[in-house]
Structures are given as C-alpha cells and as structure tokens.
Chain A
C-alpha cells in the first residue's frame, strides 16, 4: 500500500539526514580585530533578547526590567553616571548645590530636541516632576519627589529645586527619564498612546513595537552627544532561557546574560562572542524574621552564620564566580568597609554556640533539640531564580550536618510578597537586593519601615543605625558619608539581621563584531552609544540605513 511505503521512505530519509548532519551553525574562525586608528563605521543592528515583553515605554510608569532597559535608550535624565560612577550631566550641563544642601540649581543643555523635532526646555522637567507627585498617575516612584519643597523654572534652561531637608539621594533621583510636556499635557498620562510609541530625547528613536515579538529602535541623528554608530536596536522576546542560549549558539542574538554553567560551556559555543565577567551591583542574603524565636537571639544567628559554608555555595552554584558578602554594600562601592571581617566556616564552633544556648543532640534523629522541640525552620525563596533555589538547597544540606532541620519552600512571586513577606509570615527568607548607586538604605534598615509593603520586613530595630541612616541622607559630603556608612556596615555585620551570603558576578556575552564594550566600575553598557561594527563584519545590511 502506497502509504506505508511512503512512511518507510520518509523514515529512512530522516535517519540518513540525522547521520549526515553537517554543522548547520557557522562557527568558522573569523578575524574581528581592527587597527587602532580606524574610524568607527556606522551601520548594522544589535539584537538583544528579553525574557518578557516590555509593558509601558514610559519611565514614570514602568516597573519591569524589559521596559526599563529600553527606556534607557530612548529617554535621558538630568544626570547620569559615567564610567567611574561619578555623577555627570546628561540633560543638565551643570548644577550647583547650595551651602545648606537644600537647594539645587540645574543648568540645562540648549541643543537638545525631542524625537519629533520640538526643543527640550525646563518646562518639560517641571512637567515630569508634577506628574511624579500627581496621585492620579500610576507611578510607584513618587517617594523621592515628594521631598521637594518647591520647584521653580527660572529661565527656559534653568531650574531651581528646593528641599525642606538636605537629601543626599536627590542627585540620583534626577536621573529619572524626562518626558515631553507637549505630548502628555492635557491627557491622561496613564493611557496616553505615547506609552506605546514613546517620544524621548535619547540616543535611539522608537520605531516599532510588535507585541510579544520585538521592539525596534533606530539611531537618533540629532542626538546631543552625537549619533550612535549602531543604526538599529532590536529587542526580541524569548521567554525561555535555554531557548535564548540556542539562539545565541546559532548567532541569532548579539548579547545574553549567562548563567554560570552556560558561561563555563564548551569554548566552541563562543567563537564569535566575547565573554565578560564583572561584579554586579547586588547581593544575595538569608534574612531572619527577627520577631520569631529563636531568631530574636543573636547567639543563634551567629551560630548559623558559622555553620554556612559560603565558599561551597559560591563554588557549587556560581561555579566560583562570586565573592562572599560581609554586609549591605558591594565591594566596588565607596561605602564598603574593607575592615569588616566575614564569619569563617566553623561548624564545630557553631555547634558549641548552640549547645551553650541549651540545644542537645538527639541521637535518634540526628537533630538538635531544646525544650522538647526540634531545631527546625523554613527558608522561603521566590520561584524562577535557579541560583537562589540551589543556594537554599545547599544551605539545607549544610545545616543538616550540625543537626538543624531546614524546610524549603519555593513560592511564586506575587504570593511570595503578599502572603509571606507582607504578612511577615516566614522564618527566614533567601532573597537578593539590587542596589542603587547611592548608598542610602533607609527604606531597608530604618526601624519604622516595617509596615506592610515596606522593606524592613525582617523587623530590624537599632536606634544607633536609625540615627546613622538619617545622618547619611542629610549631607552631600562623601567623606562624611563614607564614615557613616562604614559604621553601618560594621554594625549590621555584627547584628546579623541577615546572613549576607555573596556578591554574584555578572556574566554577559557580546558578539565579537562589536568594537567598544569595556568593563568599568559602571559595568558594561556605559558607552554603548559608541559601540560600532566594522563595515566588513556587519551582519544586518539594511536598505534604510544611511
């Protein structure tokens, strides 16, 4: 019968094809180097992948990282960080902080235009500020801007901002993207269609948004700092990380943040990519619910700190690409106190501390008991973060060795927040903080920040730290602030509201044809406007390019 013959033929063909497989991916060695004095070429496109689609391309409203990343190409703030993490002007040419520290005057650039050709002026900044404190605007970022006492437009390119108290975080707060008044005024900013087709002042102009597929940007010829060399940016939505890696291997995307295991994969995968490895601006920690027994007892917390082998976690989960953490600041930050020592891994000392607190080993189950209760507690962490899941499992195994039983619970993010964090219904939590460059951590450590939806969910209360936090906010003097934050670092390391676990490394890869990526204190993307692709290596030769 013809059908079964066809069937056999097709299966034979399939088998033949599988055996005759040629390497479908072009990984032939190519020379990507250029001579030193070569002038950059324009052209080509950069393809980036994101796990989820952007939601709103409006810096005042969006909260997801996809939107945030794209917004950073389209909009500018008054200020920005440069390569060495110094604050420099973006839309502001210069600024002046009064002696009292309560007044800042910004002088804005005069040669900046919105993507639709209209000129950028101080009125746009005032408008942005007014929207940030407007209760009908669905922005989660209002807190910093409600501290402003008065906002005055002095001239078309000069503004004066007055605060009731000196606010050290003010400068960083003015890195917020500025939105165009002429587009948003007299409309409902929450539903304005410009949130899907943004107009900004930035190096790239929004071109196209194919929902759930990709977003396209093109270079801004009239950008105040010069047209970026790369002509187009594509942001593709690829929701699965393993699929992203497959696309990377087929050279279909130009950059990706890798997991430690991917980073360590066969070198052949990366013949066309440059690998980068640098400390990220974040740390991972195990937080204690300080209102619960036995975590209200510092000795117990110390004992657990000695029982956790951070090196094993870093080696096992990060494959060595991380450093043990000692406090709430990252080592590359000026607030970091290098004198604070980490707790060494000393399980026998840990056991001694626990025994001196009244715990005895029960030979029948191998665990520590006290007052007829087993030393048992839970760690909760959020779903979707492989590194944290594995870290929790390693801690569980390590604590088992000294007789402490740990139960792990991995919870979906919004339940995690609403049911456990907000209700403070947890023993310990394994989480991370992504830090802003300004070292103020008032919202995390201040004893009053323990309300629902606030960030001191471990209920830490130390009046000395409260005082220091306030002092740190109210001066711009870096030397003074350094002393203050060093002290905070020291106290927190001693009090152990968290066991600070590690600082992970960031591990991106970028396609070799792009000249320019360079790791600095600010990370990798600080000069992305100046990356370029030599004409002979350009992959996307598109007709629209000029």
Chain B
C-alpha cells in the first residue's frame, strides 16, 4: 500500500544517517587525502566510486559529505520549525493585533523568491556551512508559520477548547494537552519535505558558487565541481546526483506517507 513507499523512504534515510555517522569507520580513505597521480580514475577495485580531480577517493568523500548534506538539511529545518511554530502559534492563539502584525511580516517574507534571498545573504556574508544553514532556515520558517497558524485556528474553534476555557484551565495546559498534539502532524510533514528542499537548495547554491566551500564537501559541492569533468569523469556527476536524488526522494516519500496517515479517507 501507500505506506510501503513511506517505509522505504524511512529506511533509506536511516541508512544514510548511519552511513554519515559512521563515515570515519567505513570510509576507506580520508576525504582530503590527495594523490595527484591517481586523479580522475574510473571506479575500480582500488577506488569503488573512482577518484576526483585531486586524486581523492570519491566514496570516502561522499560518506563524509553525507554528514554535511544531511546536517545542513536537518538543522536548517529545525531552525525553521522552531521559529515557524513559535510565530504561528503566537499568531493563531492570541489573534488580534499580534496576529495581524506577524502575518503581515510573514506575507512580506513569502513574497520574495526564496532563492534570491539566499543568494543575497550568502553573497554578502560568506557561504560558510553555518551561514548556509541559518539562511535556509530563515527563509523556510514563514511557510511553516502559516501552516501552524491555520492549524491552531481550526483547533481553537473546536468545542473542547471552549469547554476547557470555561473550566478555566491554564493557557499552558491547553497548549500542551490540546494544541500541541494536533499540530505535530502537519509540522512533521512540512519538516520532512523541508529537509529535501534544503538539500536541493544547497546544491543549487553550490552550482552558483555559494554553497559549501572546498575542501569541505557536500554532495551538491561534489556534483557542481564534477560538471567540469562531465566528458571524462561520469562518476563525479552520477554518484552525487543519485545520492541527492535518493535522499530527497526518501524524505518526500516519508512526508507523503505521514500526510496520508493523518488524513485517512475511504
């Protein structure tokens, strides 16, 4: 059924995270170990995924960059979740002036082409990993805030909230017991899709030269560097591209699966 695909996605993600976490143990070579004589060699028994333009083992680099690509995606989304949930809830719960001001701000943020903002900030500051994570997170929270606010609004209408209010339950209690459990679902969906988006955004930034900087590597960086050698080193383009594809796909399938589970319909 549908859930099988989501399960597949979850398993892939788990494997990727494990590969990244245990990279130092699994990787056959250090990711920065250069060997000029061995540069641009096709996949072989010595180098399972081939070597890059400085003779570094691609498999090792891919394993270490799994860490970076995944952290960029996950941490950026975490930032977005924290900010988005906070603002969405404040807006939805308190309503009135707070709501109007916050939502105007969200509207303004949503009008900008996200990528344009990313480019501007990273071009003006430096494209360090930290900056990339922060700026992707900062461009992703508005969308999330809207979703959270909508959920909070719909929950507010429901009877049991009014009942609780009548019973003079503390605001915190209402929040923790009623609102929070109900918004976790949509947040989770947005989060999983968001990780995929963040990884794709980083690869787009790498293509334009504003992604993770060498000698650090993310898959996007290896892929972007590899396009210079498309004619003589297909492995530098295929493997990182496929890695990104599988990762983003897995996150998307997982997200879709969660979404289906939340909205069962006959």
Residues of chain A having any CB pair with chain B under 8 Å: 241-242, 245, 249, 259, 261-262, 264-266, 269, 312, 315-316, 383-384, 386, 389-390, 393-394, 396-397, 408-412, 415
- On whether the beta carbons of A261 and B53 are closer than 8 Å, the reply is yes
Contact A241 B228 (CB under 8 A): yes
Task: Please determine whether B36 and A410 come into contact, CB atoms closer than 8 angstroms.
Answer: no
Q: Does B230 sit within 8 A of A, measured CB to CB? A: yes
Known A-B contacts: A242-B230, A397-B32. Give 7 more (CB < 8 A): A242-B227, A262-B231, A393-B34, A394-B36, A409-B213, A411-B126, A412-B209
A384 CA to B39 CA in the complex, in Å? 21
B230 CB to nearest chain A CB (Å): 6
For the complex, give the distance between the alpha carbons of A309 and B231 in Å: 29
Residues from chain B with a CB closer than 8 A to the CB of A315 are 36
Q: Are B54 and A265 in contact (CB under 8 A)?
A: no
The 4 closest A-B pairs by CB, nearest first: A316-B36, A242-B227, A397-B34, A410-B213
**Per-position binary interface string of chain B over residues 224-262, scored 1 when its CB falls under 8 Å from any chain A CB and 0 otherwise:** 010111111000000000000000000000000000000
Fill in one digit per residue for B4-47: 1 if any A CB lies within 8 Å of its CB, else 0.
00000000000000000000000000001110100110000000
In the complex, 20 of the A-B residue pairs with CB atoms within 8 angstroms, ordered by the A residue number, are: A242-B228, A242-B230, A259-B228, A262-B231, A265-B231, A265-B232, A266-B232, A316-B34, A386-B228, A390-B53, A390-B54, A393-B54, A393-B214, A397-B34, A408-B215, A409-B213, A410-B213, A411-B126, A412-B210, A415-B124
Most B CB contacts (10 A, CB to CB) among A259, A389, A390, A415 go to A390
Q: Is B123 interfacial (CB-CB < 8 Å)?
A: yes
Report the nearest B residue to A269, measured CB to CB: B231
Q: Is B142 an interface residue when CB atoms closer than 8 A count as contact?
A: no
A393 with B231: CB separation less than 8 A:
no
Given A390-B53, A396-B215, does the pair A261, B36 have CB atoms closer than 8 Å?
A: no
Contact with A along B60-92 (1 / 0, CB 8 A): 000000000000000000000000000000000
A386 vs B229: C-alpha distance when bound (angstroms): 12
How many angstroms between the C-alpha atoms of A394 and B32 in the bound complex? 10
Considering the chains assembled together, what is the distance between the CA atoms of A75 and B141 in angstroms? Answer: 54
The answer to whether B127 has its CB under 8 Å from any CB of chain A is yes
- Interface size of B by CB at 8 A reads 26
Q: Which of A242, A262, A316 contacts B54 (CB 8 A)?
A: A316
Q: How far apart are the CA atoms of A141 and B227 in the complex, in Å?
A: 37
Which residues of chain B are within 8 angstroms of A411 by Cβ–Cβ distance? Answer: 126
For the complex formed, measure the closest distance between the CB of B212 and the CB atoms of chain A, giving whole angstroms: 10
Q: Is the beta-carbon distance between A261 and B127 smaller than 8 angstroms?
A: no
CB closest chain-B residue, reference A313: B36
Residues of A within 8 A of B210 (CB): 412
Shortest B41–chain A CB gap in Å is 13
B53 touches A412 (CB 8 A): no
B residues 122-136 near A (Cβ < 8 Å) are 123-127
Give complex CA distance A147, B102 in Å. 60
The complex places the Cα of A415 from the Cα of B34 at a distance, in Å, of 29
Task: Compute how far the CA of A408 lies from the CA of B212 in the bound complex, rounded to whole angstroms.
Answer: 13
Could you say which of A262, A265, A383, A394 contacts B209, with CB atoms under 8 Å apart?
A: A383
Residues of A within 8 A of B36 (CB): 312, 315-316, 394
Determine whether the beta carbon of A389 is less than 8 Å from that of B32. Answer: no
Alpha-carbon distance A249/B232, docked complex (angstroms):
13
Complex Cα spacing A336 to B182, Å: 77
* Chain A residues with CB below 8 A from B209, complex form: 383-384, 412
* Cα of A241 to Cα of B229 in the assembled complex, Å: 11
B101 CB to nearest A CB, Å: 34
CB closest chain-A residue, reference B225: A386
Interface string of B207-220 (1 = CB under 8 A from A): 00110011100000
Say yes or no: A266 contacts B215, CB within 8 Å.
no
Contact of A261 among B33, B40, B124, B214 (CB under 8 A): B40
Q: How far is the CB of A400 from chain B (nearest CB, A)?
A: 9
- B55: chain A residues at CB < 8 Å are 316
The interface residues of chain A lying within 8 Å CB-to-CB of B32 are: 393, 397
Option from A241, A266, A383, A412 in Cβ contact (under 8 Å) with B231 = A266
Tell me the bound Cα distance from A269 to B227 in angstroms: 17
Complex CA–CA separation, A411 to B231 (angstroms): 28
What distance in Å separates the Cβ of B56 from its nearest Cβ neighbour in chain A?
Answer: 9
- Report the Cα distance A520→B225, complex, angstroms: 34
Complex: chain A residue closest to B215, CB-CB: A393
| A415 → B minimal CB distance (Å) | 7
In the assembly, what is the distance between CA of A315 and CA of B32, in Å?
18
Say which residue of B54, B126, B214 sits within 8 Å of A412 (CB atoms): B126
Minimum CB–CB distance from A299 to chain B (whole Å) comes to 28
Our pick among A265, A408, A415 for the contact of B214 (Cβ within 8 Å) is: A408
**Chain B residues near A316 (CB, 8 Å)?**
34, 36, 39, 54-55
B240 to chain A, nearest CB (A): 15
What is the distance, in angstroms, from A174's C-beta to the closest C-beta of chain B? 38
A394, chain B: closest CB distance, angstroms:
6
Query: Which residues of B, 107-144, contact A by the 8 Å Cβ criterion?
Result: 123-127
Q: Considering only CB atoms, which chain B residue lies closest to A386 in the complex? A: B228
Known: A312-B36, A410-B214. A261 touches B229 (CB 8 A): yes
Chain A residues with CB below 8 A from B227, complex form? 242
Residue in A241, A269, A412 whose beta carbon sits within 8 Å of that of B123 in the complex: A412
Report yes or no: A261 in contact with B228, Cβ–Cβ below 8 A.
yes
Please give the distance in Å from A242's CB to the nearest CB on chain B.
5
Q: How far, in whole Å, are A316 and B40 apart by their CA atoms in the complex?
A: 10
Most buried by B among A262, A397, A410: A397
Q: What's the least CB distance linking B123 to chain A, in Å?
A: 6
Distance from A33 Cβ to chain B, minimum over Cβ atoms (Å): 28
Q: How far is the CA of A408 from the CA of B213 in the complex (A)?
A: 9
Q: Give chain B residues whose Cβ lies under 8 Å from the Cβ of A264.
A: 232
Q: Is the CB of B54 within 8 A of A394?
A: yes
Q: How far is the CA of A266 from the CA of B232 in the complex (A)?
A: 8
Task: Determine the residue in chain B with the shortest Cβ distance to A264.
Answer: B232
